Structure 1
Amino acid sequence: MTISTQQKLGSVEGIRGVACLMVFLSHLSSTFAPSMHTGNIANARTPIDIIMHSSPFAFLYSGAAAVGIFFVLSGFILSYCILNKGDAVTNAAGMTIKRYFRLMPPALGSCIIAYFALKHFTFDKSALGDWAQNYNISNPSFLDAIYNGTISSFLSGSAPYNWSLWTMKIEFFGSLSVFFLCCIIPKVKYKKTLIVIFMVMPFFMNVKSGDEIYYAAFFSGVLIYMLDINFPNKLGVILFAIGLFFCGYHTNGYLYKSFNSLININIYNKHIDNYTLFNNIGGFIVVFSVLRTKIISKIFSRDLFVKLGALSFLVYVLHQPIMHITSTVLFNFTRDNGLSYSMSALLSSITTMVIVYLVSIPYQKYVDSISVKISNLIKTKMMIKQI
């Protein structure tokens, strides 16, 4: 049962859109219901905090799984763009030139927005979770924000103005690694073995703990592209459900305690974090099952999911600085007017999500489109013309 290329690429956008929504829900729950993540009964803010933490639906707000899904998708789509048509080296060279300039403008714009938000808006966040309370810079600097959006987030992962940009380092260097790998693949006999070697390599490198798992996720996306497998619908749905189960992994979650006690991986005296590991395994299984199962791929390639995917990167980079203003103002206003904590949190979350998605539409037109034009122009100027 084959899946059309158009449907497969549409489902890539669809999964990306859902993953972005998962990140958004992760940060909203960290703001209003932190016990959904920690399982700390004493610190529960709403009636469903602990229920959700121990339920099989925790994948709905798993930021770690969502980020893993992003990286698997990046590995898949980048390898598709390089290996599907034309000369791999030429394609990889062009994408290498474009990559930074494609990612940087939206990230920079979000840091500038964050600068103005942190500089000019201070709110009482005492009733909110630590994630919201700790998002603060005592003396915001415009130049620091620019440096954050152009250099530090991409080279070191340091992103105090917009915490979500910590992923830019892995996205950038992971992309470069995939480009390099894709230049080699066409000339190698044992292609899948080579990809697996690349997946394992980060675990033996001196990288930040947890990052090795995310780099491996990049290469796992290349592996999905190379594996000529299509699952029967029933098997694909089962795999998808298993993937979602692991995407909801919490170290102290009721359903996951046995996994955490049984698995203790150390490589060169460096402990491999079970939370990041299982969330990323779940992300890999989810992407694999969606892209290789016709019925699931068809669902995620529908217009709504594809439209969410088209805005996903922009929503991802914009949501934290906007949340700093909207969620806090709306929450305090509704609480001051007599609404319960739960109702205030719900209304603030829904309204904030609507605002961020609406803002992302003009941001796509006036910022993201510029990054596409700039990256294509630089590629044209730097590439040797083919005769």
Structure 2
Amino acid sequence: MKRLTSLDGLRGLAALIVLVHHIMLTFPLFAEPYLEGRAANGLPELLSYTPLHTLWDGQGAVVIFFVLSGVVLTLPVLKQGRDFSWVGYYPQRLLRLYLPVWGAIILYLGWVLIIPRTTAMESAWLGITDKAVSPEALWGDATLLFGTGDLVSPLWSLQWEIAFSFLLPVFVFLGVRFARYNWILAVAAVIGIAVSSSLGNRALVYLPMFLIGVVIATWLPTIRKWQPSRGTQALLLLSAPILLIFPWLIRPFETLRPLVKPFDAVTTIGATIAVIAAIVVPIFRRFLESRVMQWFGLISFSLYLVHEPVVISMAHLFGDQNLRIAGLVSVVISISLSWVFFKVVEIPSHKLSRRVGDFVRSRTKKRPQPHAPIAPDIQAHQA
């Protein structure tokens, strides 16, 4: 079965949106609504409370990452079935994640040393990102097991990627065991996200997002055969961005503000539709399969890891009066640095993780592997 390259492009698009998101937050007028304030009239209000917010909705982009991870980590298990080596999977997956994370932390320390964050900035977001470097904070960011150290803020999502990576056998078991009733799992996940968002239980907000990706993976043969009508394609393309940012659309209304957190579930539905649209809507799929978007998909993990310290450093370097210049310079440096990071850190990390995984598999291949009943004949998509 043909590789789903459009999902690589979708990951690249999401990474670019996160980059724009953090650049926008360096501007005080856009940081204010992000930190639960009220957007000023005019352009800030337009870009915050209308579908234009999709262009810089970092939260929705991360939810897309989570759903995609659920898909791409499940597919190799489904393809290999009982031959899938869990003992080889764990060291390979953990090295694949942790080595680039540690590289990103080293880069962060370099940026802080080169451009100290000593200048008081007007953006409230820049204020809360000014964290003191301490052994405890470094340990939190380097391990990601019991929260983060909040030094490299994008790492908050990696703690949930790692948690899901540990729990993958459980998620795959649920997806396969209840394959005929996966729609119930998906509905339960969405309801769980809504309830948990209200209660403030972050684990039960984010982990069900991965479960929805697992469900998509088990449905993939059916999804790929689906040929929606033009009207349905238009509906998918219009509904995905609106649902992704739906919590922002209701923020201006004080009576609806208590629903903002529960409506994280609606964001998840939007992310799910975006992933499906990337597979079944030809015009969107072709865009995501273009050379440019495939390239951004290739460096998306590196871009996600390295961009934020660049954005913050450039804001401090150029100051409040030159934030537009700082933003443009941030884009150029972030993308360029991501390519270098990809070549110097991510590729070697990927190769090493594969070697370690293959070594463990070769040493344990004659031993019985723990497994769940797995459906065969589904093409793997590289994680």
Quickly name the TM-score band, shorter chain normalised.
0.7 to 0.9
Q: Provide closer, same or farther for how the CA distance between residues 185 and 196 of structure 1 changes in structure 2, counting only shifts above 3 A.
A: same
Q: Provide closer, same or farther for how the CA distance between residues 64 and 162 of structure 1 changes in structure 2, counting only shifts above 3 A.
A: same
Q: How far off its partner does 1:36 sit? A: 5.3
Q: Which segment is superposed worse, 170-179 or 71-80?
A: 170-179
Distance 1:222 1:25 in 2: 29
Q: How far off its partner does 1:201 sit? A: 9.4
Q: Provide closer, same or farther for how the CA distance between residues 295 and 241 of structure 1 changes in structure 2, counting only shifts above 3 A.
A: same
Name the structure 2 match of 1:235.
232
Q: Provide the secondary structure at the position in 1 that maps to 2:148.
A: coil
Name the structure 2 match of 1:18.
13
- Contact 2:10/2:297 (8 A) holds in 1: yes
Q: Provide the secondary structure at the position in 2 that maps to 1:299.
A: helix
Name the structure 2 match of 1:274.
262
- Contact 1:54/1:253 (8 A) holds in 2: yes
Name the structure 2 match of 1:69.
64
Q: Provide the secondary structure at the position in 2 that maps to 1:157.
A: coil
Q: Provide the secondary structure at the position in 2 that maps to 1:86.
A: helix
Out of 244, 247, 262, the residue aligned to residue 247 of structure 1 is: 244
Out of 79, 84, 96, the residue aligned to residue 90 of structure 1 is: 84
Distance 2:236 2:254 in 1: 20
Distance 2:86 2:255 in 1: 40
Q: How far off its partner does 1:148 sit? A: 3.4
Out of 270, 276, 280, the residue aligned to residue 288 of structure 1 is: 276
Out of 327, 331, 347, the residue aligned to residue 369 of structure 1 is: 347
Name the structure 2 match of 1:159.
149
Distance 1:91 1:198 in 2: 29
Name the structure 2 match of 1:385.
365
Does residue 175 (structure 1) correspond to residue 153 (structure 2)? The answer is no
Distance 1:99 1:259 in 2: 45
Q: How far off its partner does 1:196 sit? A: 3.8
Q: Provide closer, same or farther for how the CA distance between residues 219 and 316 of structure 1 changes in structure 2, counting only shifts above 3 A.
A: same
Q: Provide closer, same or farther for how the CA distance between residues 95 and 194 of structure 1 changes in structure 2, counting only shifts above 3 A.
A: farther
Distance 2:299 2:72 in 1: 17
Distance 2:191 2:163 in 1: 14
Does residue 102 (structure 1) correspond to residue 101 (structure 2)? The answer is no
**TM-score, length basis structure 1:** 0.81
RMSD of aligned Cα (Å): 3.2
Q: Provide the secondary structure at the position in 2 that maps to 1:169.
A: helix
Name the structure 1 match of 2:288.
300
Distance 1:363 1:71 in 2: 22
Distance 2:51 2:196 in 1: 34
Residue identity (%): 20
2:163 counterpart letter in structure 1: F
Distance 2:49 2:178 in 1: 46
Q: Which segment is superposed worse, 101-110 or 321-330?
A: 321-330
- Contact 1:11/1:290 (8 A) holds in 2: yes
- Contact 1:22/1:62 (8 A) holds in 2: yes
Does residue 37 (structure 1) correspond to residue 47 (structure 2)? The answer is no
Q: How far off its partner does 1:92 sit? A: 4.5
Distance 1:63 1:15 in 2: 14
Q: Which segment is superposed worse, 19-28 or 353-362?
A: 19-28
Q: Which segment is superposed worse, 29-38 or 186-195?
A: 186-195
Q: How far off its partner does 1:316 sit? A: 0.8
Q: How far off its partner does 1:12 sit? A: 0.5
1:162 counterpart letter in structure 2: V
- Of structures 1 and 2, the one scoring higher in RCO (CA 8 A, sep 6+) is 2
Distance 1:39 1:23 in 2: 19
Deviation per residue, 1:95-141 (Å, 9 max, x gap): 33311110011111111222233345324543431111222233x24
- Contact 2:306/2:338 (8 A) holds in 1: yes
- Structure 1 outlier segments of 4+, above 6 Å: 204-207
Distance 1:223 1:189 in 2: 8
Q: Provide closer, same or farther for how the CA distance between residues 346 and 279 of structure 1 changes in structure 2, counting only shifts above 3 A.
A: farther
Name the structure 2 match of 1:220.
212
Q: Which segment is superposed worse, 159-168 or 85-94?
A: 85-94
Distance 2:294 2:230 in 1: 21
Q: Provide the secondary structure at the position in 2 that maps to 1:162.
A: coil
Give the unaligned 5+ runs of structure 1. Answer: 265-271, 336-343
Deviation per residue, 1:253-296 (Å, 9 max, x gap): 47x849947x85xxxxxxx9235333222212211222222332
Q: Provide the secondary structure at the position in 2 that maps to 1:5.
A: coil
1:176 counterpart letter in structure 2: F
Distance 2:73 2:184 in 1: 17
- Contact 1:79/1:179 (8 A) holds in 2: no
Distance 2:7 2:255 in 1: 30
Distance 1:129 1:275 in 2: 27
Distance 1:130 1:65 in 2: 21
Q: How far off its partner does 1:328 sit? A: 2.1
Deviation per residue, 1:155-210 (Å, 9 max, x gap): 12213211110111211112333333335655666362674488379668899524
